[in-house]
Chain A
Amino acid sequence: MRKLFPLAIALLAALVSTPALAHAFLDHSDPRVGSTVAAPPHELTLSFTQKLEPAFSGVEVTGPNGSSVGGKAQVSGNTMRVGIKGAGPGAYHVHWHALSVDTHKTQGSFTFTVGGH
């Protein structure tokens, strides 16, 4: 039984070097990730796999010309919503960062395209 203590410590030591992986993943978005939509959306909605902490979660949306087109992100439950100021056709870049209620951070990005060719 005395062997259990060093074993437990060894287990701890062996595992503390693993980087902590993320918890709240992007489940789906609207407009969908990588999709093309006809008209600029009024709002971007991101749905995550876990409930988020509003104080530490947000999203930046960049329009085709590189300017920021997203308003302030509204976070409730596992959903993040942000208003989009339409900036014409082209590729819109979305970068989100999230803190799940279980205290782990995640981030990610994707693009969607508006109209045109």
Chain B
Amino acid sequence: MSAPQPREATYALEGRYDAQRSAELDEHLRALYEAGASTIVLDLARVTYVSSSSLRVLLLAHRRAVAAGGSIVLANTPSRVLSLLRMAGLDRVFGIRST
């Protein structure tokens, strides 16, 4: 018997993710995880801003995903957000996809 394949879900974020919206992001990511998605691809193409609160939510989600054999993957990351990830060394934590 082969090991079960990690289930992948895609979720598109849009707009500004400051501390007010980080709780909403956390709820969405937890719901996807509880629905069985171990790998979650976040499409950031339409994201204008990500605060440290939301990055913490992503880190916690990534820890959960890794424990379940998956990961958090960031797709279409805007250059300013990518710069922040690099600044904090988080580009080496999350999977980064260009498309």
A and B are partners in one complex rather than unrelated chains? no
Q: Mark B residues whose CB is within 8 Å of A.
A: none
